[in-house]
Amino acid sequence: MFNTICLCCIKHLSSNCAFFLVLRSAPPTSKFFSVKGTANVQYSISPTPRDTSHLSPIPLTENSVLLISRDHASQHENDSKLSVQYYGANKEVLGRAVVHLTAVELSLDVDADRDGIVEKNNPKKGSWKWGPNGHGAILLVNCDSEKTYKKTPDSEDKSIYKVSDLKDMSVMVLRTKGPGKLPEGYKLTMHISQGDAESVRVFRNRSTEVSNSAQKLYNLFVKDYPLVLSSDVLSKEVPYLGGVAEMNFYVEGLRFPDKDFNGLRYSVTLTSDNYQFLKGMRNLVAKSGYKLNICHEYVNRGDRWMQDELEFGYIDSPHHRFPVVLDSPRDGELANFPYDELLGPDFGYVTRVALDEHVSSLDSFGNLEVSPPVTVNGKKYPLGRIIIGVAFPTATKGRNMTKVVQDFLWAQKVQEPIALFSDWLLVGHVDEFMTFVPAPDRKGFRLLLSSPDAGYKLFRGLQSSGHGQATLFDEQITLDEILKDEKLQAENNYVQSCIDWNRDVLKRELGLDDEDIIDLPILFKLVEDEKEYRAVAYYPDMVNMIVLGKNLGIPKPFGPKVNGRCALEAEMCSLMQGLGLNCTFIDDYSSYHQLLGEVHCGSNVRREPFEFKWWNLEM
C-alpha cells in the first residue's frame, strides 16, 4: 500500500513530525516489521524497540507508531520516501508499505521584537512581554477614517477604502519554502477562532504574487487587497507560490482591549482535506443532482465522523413541518456543530445528555439507522423502524447505547425500535454490517448484509479459476495466502455467526424473506480491545455506503485484480445492477478505513420526509 504524506515544518510553533500507524497497513498475520528510509528522512519508533539499530525485525504491536521528520524543505514533490517491511512469525516477508514524503517549511511572521521589521521565525512571536526588552506584535485599532465625506470609522468597512488605509494595519508575512507545487490534494489554509475573528480582519496583498515590475501598478488598486479572514470567514485557502516565497497580509484591529479580549492568535496549516474522499463524493453528488456541503477543518477541528455526531429527522403537524437534528451524546470535536451550524429558523435541535451513564462508541449515530416502511405480520410501519446496536441480550457485561437515548427513541412510538447485537464489533455500529438500498420489486428495497461466507466463496472461486496469485491492497497479499490463513478463517466464522444472529432478528422484525437480503463479500479480522477481541473490516467495508437514490457511494475495496479489474468491485456491481443501481467506488482508505470507518461514517444526508402523517398511524 502506498501513501503520500506532506510534512509541514512550522519552525518554533509546532513539531515537524508526521505519524504513521504501523499496524493499520500490516498484512493480517504480521508479527514483526522493519523500517528503511532515504538519507534525508529521520524517523523514530514508539514505543522504543530494544534493538535500537532498527535493522532487525521489530515486534509489531497495536501501539507501534513511526514519527517521521525532515530537517529541510523538499525541492521536488515526493523527493524522499520511507518503507515499512512486514514479517510473519518466522520472519518471512509478508508485504511492504511505502510512504512518499514532501517537506514544506512554513513560517507565519509578525514584528515580534517591535522594531518595525517583520523578522523571520522569531521564537517569541507567540507570546507577550512588557518593557523595553519585551516582545510581542502590536496591532492598531483602525478607528480613524480615510473618507472625506460621510465619515465612518474604517473598522466599520469590510473592504479597504484607500491603499493609504494599510498604514493603520499591522503587516504579517507568510514565508514558505518547498517544491514548485504541492502534491495533489494538499493546500495552504489560514484560519482564526470565532472569538478572535470578532476583533480583527485580515487582508492579503496580491502584489506579492506577481513580478516586481508589475508590483507598483498593483499597489494602486484597492481591489488587490482582498479580505481573507473575518467574523464571516474563519478559514481561507491561500496561494502556495512555490520555491522560496513570501506573501504579505495586513491585520486590521476592530476592538480595543476589554475584559473579554486581551489578545489573539492566527495560524496557517498544510492539509490534504481528504482529497480522494472528497473527489469521489463530489462526483457522486453531482451525478445524483444533489447539493454537497463540506464541513471544513476549521469547523470540525479534526473530527471527521459526521455520521456519528448527528442524525436528521423532522417534526410534523397539520399546519407546519420542519427538519430537526438529533445530537448524539458522543461530544467529540463536532460537539457544537449541530447547535451552532444547524439550529436556526425552521430547523430544530434536540439532544439527550447521559448524566449518570458511561458514553461509549455505541452512542454514536452510525449505530442508529431506520428501515424503509414495512409490514410485519399484518402490522404496518409506514415510517419504517429504528435500528440500534447493543450488547448481546444475555451478556452480563458489554457496551450498550445509553438508556437516556434508548428511552427517547422508544418514546417516539411510531418507529418502534429494533435492537441488534453490535458489541462484537470494535467500533460497535450497525452500519458496519448492514444497510438498505431501493429495489424495483418485492418490498421496494433490499437489505444488504456483510458476509464473510460470501467473501470466501468468491475468493475460492477465483482461486479455482487460476487466480490464486491475484493480490489485494496493491500487491500486499495474495488470495492463496488469505485462503490458507486458518486463524483468519476461524475469526470470520465467528463474525458470520454474529451477523447470522442479526439476520434472523431482522427477518423476524421487518418481515423479510431470504430473497429480500443480499450478502456482500466482506471479510473481517479480530483485534484485541481491553482484553477482549472485537472485529474490524479486513478491507474497506463496502456495506458502509452512502445511498443517494439509485446512486451508491461505496468504499473502494482494493480487492484482487482479475483481468485488470477489482474482483470485489465487479461482484458488487453485478449484485447492484440487477436492481437498477449505479456503483461509484470512493477511495476512503487513508482518510477513513485506516481510522476504522468508511464512507457512511464520514457523511450524512438530510432526506425528504415521509408523505405519511404520523398521527394517522393506528396503534
**Annotated catalytic, 566?**
no
CA proximity to 305, closest of 330, 282, 326: 330
3-state secondary structure of 228: strand
- By the 10 Å C-beta count (0-12 exposed, 13-18 middle, 19+ buried), 187 is classed as middle
Instruction: Out of 431, 516, 519, 541, pick the active-site residue.
Output: 431
CA proximity to 333, closest of 294, 292, 363, 297: 297
Report d(CA 203, CA 190) in Å as an integer. Answer: 12
Helix (H) or strand (E) holding 532: strand 532-537
Report d(CA 23, CA 43) in Å as an integer. Answer: 17
**Annotated catalytic, 601?**
yes
**Beta-carbon contacts of residue 431 (< 8 Å; ≥ 6 apart):** 307, 366, 367, 369, 543, 544, 600, 601
Grid cell listed for 229: 479572514
CA proximity to 295, closest of 235, 345, 367: 235
3-state secondary structure of 126: coil
**Beta-carbon contacts of residue 325 (< 8 Å; ≥ 6 apart):** 310, 311, 312, 313, 338, 342, 343, 347, 348, 349, 350
CB 483 within 8 A of CB 459: yes
CA proximity to 381, closest of 607, 549, 618: 618
**Annotated catalytic, 429?**
yes
**Annotated catalytic, 431?**
yes
Instruction: Out of 9, 154, 363, 429, pick the active-site residue.
Output: 429
Report d(CA 491, CA 504) in Å as an integer. Answer: 21
Give 340's DSSP letter.
Answer: I
Instruction: Out of 8, 566, 573, 601, pick the active-site residue.
Output: 601
Residue 365's φ and ψ, nearest 5 degrees, are -90, 10
CB 16 within 8 A of CB 8: yes
Q: Which residues pair with 96 in a beta bridge?
A: 85
Residue 278's φ and ψ, nearest 5 degrees, are -65, -35
Report d(CA 472, CA 440) in Å as an integer. Answer: 34
Q: Which residues pair with 311 in a beta bridge?
A: 326
Report d(CA 75, CA 180) in Å as an integer. Answer: 7
Grid cell listed for 595: 481510522
Q: How many CA atoms lie within 13 A of 153 on its CB side?
A: 10
- By the 10 Å C-beta count (0-12 exposed, 13-18 middle, 19+ buried), 429 is classed as buried
Unique residue bearing C-alpha cell 488469505: 482
Q: Which residues are catalytically annotated?
A: 308, 429, 431, 601
